Structure formats: C-alpha cells, structure tokens
Structure 1
Amino acid sequence: MTGSLLLRNARLLDPATGEYTEGDLRCADGRIAEAGPGLAAADVRTEDLRGAVVLPGLIDAHVHVTASTADLGSLPSASPFYVGAQAAHTMSGMLDRGFTTVRDASGADYGLADAQAEGLIRGPRLLFCGKALSQTGGHGDSRTRGTHVRDDHQCCAGLGRVADGVDAVRAAARDELRKGAHHIKVMASGGVASPTDRIDSTQYSADELRAIVEEAEAANRYVAAHAYTARAVNRALELGIRSIEHGNLLDDRSVELFLERDAYLVPTLVTYWALKEEGREHGLPESSWRKVDEVLGAGLAAVERASRGGVNLVYGTDLLGGMHRHQNHEFRLRAEVQSPLEVLRSATSTAAALLNLTGEIGTLAIGAHADLLVVNGDPLADVGVLTGRFRHVVQGGDVVS
C-alpha cells in the first residue's frame, strides 16, 4: 500500500459543478496530487482508463455497520467479538460497493474506526457516534413490554443507550464525546425497529434536546436526530439539531426550517423497501414489520418536496443485516424524483459538507483524500452506473477493489 497511483486518459467528474474534464490524475501519499493532460510518468502503478469516468469515492451518511441482524433487540446479548467480526465483513462489502467513507448512525465506536484507519480491517473510513441517546421507551430502548431489567453496560453491542432528564442526557452526550464521537445521535421520534413506541410520537423534552445540542456544540460537534413526522422534525430543527435522519413525514414548514437553519436531511428510502420485501427473513420482528407501511409510501414524496424546496439532501441507507447488499439501490429510488447529478451530489459534495469534511472527501480537488471510483458509463446520463460493478475502487491512492 503506497498511496501512489497515476490514472491516464480519464474523464474527471466534479460533482459540485457537474462538469467533466479530460486528462490524467496523479495520487501521492494517499492524496490527490495533480490533474491535467499528459502528466509526467512516475515510478508508480499506472492505469490507462481509455476514457472511463473518475469521480470521488461515495459517502453513505447513515449506516449501522454493527447491525448484523434486523432484530436489533438481540444485539446486546451477542458477543462483542462476534459483532465486531460481522461489522468487518459488512464494511468490506461497503468498500466494494464504492463507499469509501461512511457515517455510522449508532452502534460503531472508536475501536472499529481505529481498526479501519490502521489497516486491521478492510472498509470505508468510519465516522461514528457511539450509542444513540434514547428516552425510556424510546426508539433506542430495545426492551419489550415484559422486560423490566435494562443492561446498559457500554462494552455490550447495541445501537442505543437510555438516558432520562437533563443531567442524565448531558452526561451521556459527554461520555460519547469523551470516546471520540464525531457527532451525537438522538432518537427524537418513534421508529420501526423499536418494540414499544409509536412512529408518530415525539421523544425527549425540549430541555433535554437543547442540553444535548449544547454539549455537542461545546465540543465543536453536531447532533443528528432520528425523526419521522413533521412535528418531530420541526421541533428538532427549532432546537438546533443539524441533521435529520429519515424525515418521511415532513411538511412545508420543515422545508422552511431546513433552509433557515442550513440543516441537512438524510433520507433512507432503501431500508423501507428492503424491510418490506425481506425484513422478516433477516430477523425483523412481526410487530416492527407491520410498522413499515406507515413510512414506506411517504418517503419518496418527502424527498421530492425537500429537493424541490432546495434542502441539503444527503445519501443514507440505514440497512440492517443481510439487507446491506442493497446499499446502491438508493440511487435508483432517489432518481425517480431527482436528477442524476443531484443524487450524486448527495453522496459526495453535500455529504462531505454535512460531515465537516469539505475539501477532504467527496471531491477531486488537489489535496483531497485520493478516494476514487472508476466507472465505465456516464453517471450523469444514467445513475444506474453507480449500482453495478465498478472498474476500480481507489482508497487513499491504492486500488482496493
């Protein structure tokens, strides 16, 4: 692994402008070093692309790499060693699908991020939040109605931790930040995979959410919130939350708030499609499967409304267990209401802005990480190019797939 590579005769696609330039691209020490016609040959691996398209490596801003099953309530009882091995397998598949950076939306921690950064496991760069914060009986509380004892030991696998009250949520947020969280995740409404809440509920009081936002901002981090209904989405945005996950039931006021607050929406259409089609095969309890219809049909309409209103839209998938293999299908779903360029930006330049990594990832700019995707078709003519087999996946200047 040298981090050095020369790509010749490429069509270089800049997602920010939607424009192509033709020429060569040289990577050195894991970064993009120069671009232009006829770059001098160097003693590095050289690939003649013969007109293939080079674009930035893809970014998925809503994954759960430790969710090896759709039965999320079973994860805390699994061995953390087993969950880690499963996560390594999942991350390797994500890299082969062209995703060179992912943002984990609860479950992963510094251990997996460090293992990937040190080359101990193969996978995309991993930005993590640790455990999502949930109220008792909220979307992150996996207990069924008949379960009274809660095991919140933080070495155990699982996606959420329960904290109630302003002091408790401050301490929980500070604890995740202590462990290196890139963002804080909160459950601000009910969800599909939780056993005892309603999708149309709001969760956490305004004071609790405001305290979590304060702690994140004090550490120069931000808060991402799971929220479905307009009531939950709008409330979260008004309280300073920067990233709304899902947002299937948003309204026109939501669009106004996204623009006013320069916030981001991360829809996850593919997970509802996958959960409906095969969720039960991968462990989704029957009670959760019956909730899917409440958000399935509204998701695409929400994306269309937000896109038409100029909201910052970011690519996310939220897939669980064996359904991770559908990760690239989100491109096709969004293309029903967005142009190919808009969808591509959601997985490159706009995603990088959400992650506070503009100029570092999601771009072919000089000095950026040399995370690249080489494809034989034109993704601006057919976004389906991003759902098939790729010619090369490049990470840190090395061809890895």
Structure 2
Amino acid sequence: MARRSYALLFSLIALLGWAEPAKPILLRAGQMLDVKSGQLIQQPRLLIVDGKIKTLAPDETATQGAEVIDLGNLTLLPGLIDMHTHLTFSPEDIGYSSVAVSVPREALKGARNARVTLEAGFTAVRNVGANGYADVALRDAIDAGDVPGPRVVASGPALGITGGHCDDTLHAPEYKIVGEGVADGVDAVRRKTREVIKYGADVIKICSTGGVLSFRDDPKASQYRLEEMKAIVEEAHRLGRKVAAHAHGGDGIKLAVLAGVDSIEHGSYIDDESIRLMKEHGTYLVPTLFLGDWFLANAEKLRFPLPLVAKARVVVPEARKNVARAFRAGVKIALGTDSAVYPHGLNAGEFAVYTQLGLSPLQSIQSGTIEAARLLGKEQELGSLEAGKYADLIAVGGDPLKDITELQRVRFVMKGGVVYLNKPAAPAP
C-alpha cells in the first residue's frame, strides 16, 4: 500500500512538472565590462544559482558541483535592452499590405521575432504598440516557457486621437475602422488607460504627434492636448504603469513632458526648449535612428508607400541632427530601435549610430543596459552584472569599448541562467 502511495506521489510530481533545482553554474570568460564604471574586469567568474547571479567572486567551496561554462577569451556584458520594439510587426507589412495580416498571424510572427531578438543579445524589450494585445499574449507565452524570447514589457494598443498616428488610416470611410487605442477627451482617455491595463498592459504608449509611417498627418504637429495627456499619465502612474510618448515634433514633445510622461520616443524635431524641459523633468529620450538608413535603402525594393517614403526622406536627416544636439546637452538616453521598420535581430546597429552622433562607446552601451533598466524601473533586476540580479548576459569576441560593432556579433546569450546561444569561435584561417 505504501509502495503504491509513493508511486502515485512520484507520478503527480512528474505530472506537475516538479523537478530537482537546476545545478549552479560557474561562468568564466576572458573579461567582463562593468557598465557602471566602464572598467574591464579580467578573468571574471560568476556563480549563477536559480537564474540569478549569486556572486562575482565565488570561493571554491561555493562552486563545488557547479556546471562550468568556460567562454575562453570572450567579453561578458549584461543582456541588452531595447526600449522601443514592435515584435509582432515586420517591414514587409508597412503600409497597405498590413491590412491583409490578421492578429493571429501577427502573434505567430511575434514568436519568431522574439527568438531572433533574443539570439541577437537583447534579453529584455519594451514593446510599444501591437494589435489585439498580441504582445501581451507573446509576453505571457515567453514567461510560460512556450516560446523563447526576451523579457517583454508590453503596451497592447497605443492610445491616440481619432485620425492620428495611432489610429487606422488605411481604410476607406465606409468601413468605419477605428484603432483599438483611439480615445478623445479627458474622460475617454482615462477610461481607455484603465481598459488597456485591464487587458494586460505593463506600460502605456500614447501618440503625442503625427508620425512618419502613417498617412495624412504631420510628424511636427501635436495631437493629444495637454489635459488629455495629463489624465493618461495620472491614471497610469496611479496604477503603477509608466507612459511612453511617441513624439517627433517640438510642441508635442513639450506637452508630453509637461504632462509627466516617462519617455519621449523618437524626438526627431527636438528643440532647445524641449531639451531644457526634459532635463528639468528627468524625462528620458528614446531615439530610434538606425532604422532610417535601412528604411530608405529598402523602400523601393519593398514597395513602401510613396507618401511615407517622402516623409522619411525629410525626417531622417533632421532626426540625426536634432538628437545629436540632445546628446550634447546631456538628456537622459535609453536605447530604442523601432524594430519592425527594419528586420528584427539587427537591433544592435543602433549603438553605432549613437557613437557616430557623439556618445562615447560606454555611454552608448549604458543606454541599452543600465539606463534602459532604470527607465523600465527594473534597475534592481536588470542592466548590469551584479550579485542578486538576473543572469541575463551576453558575450562578444572583442572589446566593445574599442569597436562598438562587436555588439552586432553576439556569440553567447543567457537569460535567467538558461543558455539560448553559444556560438563557438570561428576556426583560425
């Protein structure tokens, strides 16, 4: 009888997925970048227990029985963080072709794009805009272990005015199509904020100005009024969510900052007054610059709509010039890429653009690690390699402080103590 009870117990354990804790991991590498100080620590040894970094200098007793991962001469860094992604969208769906893509299809694309993004070294992302809460479903699938991907902070549908950048402008009037996040007026935007949080949003995305990849609006023109944005921010913050504002133009940036948003996305036409306000309020700028060259270089091949290409030809050079001014002024920067305007997995190209426009390699790396973690409100968990933080880390072949493009050639990826990429060194010629 007792033997039968034990057998039943073990069957239940197997059914419920219970198992012995994973073995500790001792991770060794040639050097490790401390993103806070900029120092390169030689011959690092990290003890990883239950998906977190236990210590950076374990003694031999602590490492007994640990699985050893030796990365040779590779350089360790924290897992990278992209603060502006659209995992469920792809470049081939820009413009009218997006009408033919269903939400279930977008969700399945998101699963692929999440894996590609993780394997590119981005262990966390903030997804700011998706149809049908597909990014919320993707986040939950990743957290459940159904599909591989980065940690996702999801927004669901972005909030915007009728006919604005975050509204659907592709259909003829008789279809009466309205974007999921459309809300006009103080009461309506407050209700919409509560609604997207109800359905799983971790962050609120709003459209403060027109955009480039939308028809019949001006990127320099503000859309939401100050009182509407204040209502959104007040409700979001009260419910523990941060607010990211799509804003290209100066007036839209200023109004969003005065409303209390946590970050300005894009900032293409940022001016001196906006810069002053952002520094005064501690608002982050999330530039998205790498996509510009890719978009224009591939516009003809992918048959992007001509009105959108025309806008991009004007906005892209202005964005580089104006964001460089914000860099020089010392605005807080968190890396974002607007992935989906370019193919997912190329996210690390953004780092090199920042260095071209005046950030040091260390400042550029910090924008996609510790500064991004601070904007997420997760600096105690992510953004640097320290005891107590998640074992989210990558390794590259060279020194990214000397060659920032090393981040585009990631050789090793670990998230939460699980290895997702381990690419051996190329054989010597």
Return the TM-score normalized by structure 2: 0.87
Of the three residues 99, 104, 117, the one matched with 1:81 is 104
- Residue of structure 2 in register with 1:303 after alignment: 323
Secondary structure of 1:335's aligned partner:
helix
1:109 aligns with 2:135: yes
Matches within 5 A, 1:52-63: 52-63=74-85
Paired amino acid for 2:72: R
Shift of residue 325, structure 1, vs aligned partner = 4.0
Secondary structure of 2:261's aligned partner:
coil
Of the three residues 63, 70, 91, the one matched with 1:41 is 63
1:379 aligns with 2:405: no
In structure 2, C-alpha distance between the alignment counterparts of 1:235 and 1:344, rounded to whole Å: 29
Deviation by residue 1:322-342 (Cα, 9 ceiling, x = unmatched): 622432211111110211001
Shift of residue 3, structure 1, vs aligned partner = 7.7
Deviation by residue 1:13-63 (Cα, 9 ceiling, x = unmatched): 111111122330111111111112765534343122334211100000000
In structure 2, C-alpha distance between the alignment counterparts of 1:232 and 1:66, rounded to whole Å: 27
Paired amino acid for 1:92: R
In structure 2, C-alpha distance between the alignment counterparts of 1:329 and 1:277, rounded to whole Å: 15
8 A contact 2:295–2:341 mirrored in 1 = no
- Residue of structure 2 in register with 1:27 after alignment: 48
Shift of residue 198, structure 1, vs aligned partner = 1.4
Please give the root-mean-square deviation of Cα atoms over the aligned residues, in Å. Answer: 2.0
- Residue of structure 2 in register with 1:165 after alignment: 185
- Residue of structure 2 in register with 1:399 after alignment: 419
Structure 1: gaps of 5 or more residues: 153-157
Q: 1:280 to 1:306 in 2, by over 3 A?
A: same
Structure 2: gaps of 5 or more residues: 1-20, 422-429
Of the three residues 119, 139, 142, the one matched with 1:96 is 119
- Residue of structure 2 in register with 1:330 after alignment: 350
1:343 aligns with 2:397: no
Q: Percent identity among equivalent residues?
A: 37
Of the three residues 120, 145, 150, the one matched with 1:119 is 145
8 A contact 1:70–1:283 mirrored in 2 = no
In structure 2, C-alpha distance between the alignment counterparts of 1:118 and 1:144, rounded to whole Å: 35
In structure 1, C-alpha distance between the alignment counterparts of 2:147 and 2:99, rounded to whole Å: 22
In structure 2, C-alpha distance between the alignment counterparts of 1:47 and 1:279, rounded to whole Å: 44
Paired amino acid for 2:163: G
8 A contact 1:303–1:334 mirrored in 2 = no
8 A contact 2:291–2:341 mirrored in 1 = no
1:200 aligns with 2:226: no
Count of aligned pairs: 394
In structure 2, C-alpha distance between the alignment counterparts of 1:263 and 1:289, rounded to whole Å: 30
> Which has a greater percent of strand?
1
Paired amino acid for 1:6: L
Secondary structure of 1:357's aligned partner:
coil
- Residue of structure 2 in register with 1:155 after alignment: none
Secondary structure of 1:378's aligned partner:
coil
- Residue of structure 1 in register with 2:272 after alignment: 252
Shift of residue 280, structure 1, vs aligned partner = 4.7
Q: 1:283 to 1:370 in 2, by over 3 A?
A: farther
1:12 aligns with 2:38: no
8 A contact 2:295–2:342 mirrored in 1 = no
Q: 1:145 to 1:178 in 2, by over 3 A?
A: closer
Of the three residues 198, 202, 213, the one matched with 1:182 is 202
Paired amino acid for 2:242: Y
Secondary structure of 1:101's aligned partner:
strand
Q: Which has the larger radius of gyration?
A: 2
In structure 2, C-alpha distance between the alignment counterparts of 1:357 and 1:236, rounded to whole Å: 23
In structure 2, C-alpha distance between the alignment counterparts of 1:199 and 1:277, rounded to whole Å: 21
Q: 1:12 to 1:281 in 2, by over 3 A?
A: same
In structure 2, C-alpha distance between the alignment counterparts of 1:4 and 1:280, rounded to whole Å: 51
1:232 aligns with 2:258: no
1:262 aligns with 2:277: no
- Residue of structure 1 in register with 2:379 after alignment: 358
8 A contact 2:288–2:336 mirrored in 1 = yes
Q: 1:76 to 1:184 in 2, by over 3 A?
A: farther
Paired amino acid for 2:48: C
Deviation by residue 1:68-120 (Cα, 9 ceiling, x = unmatched): 34425554653322111111111111011100000001114321111001111
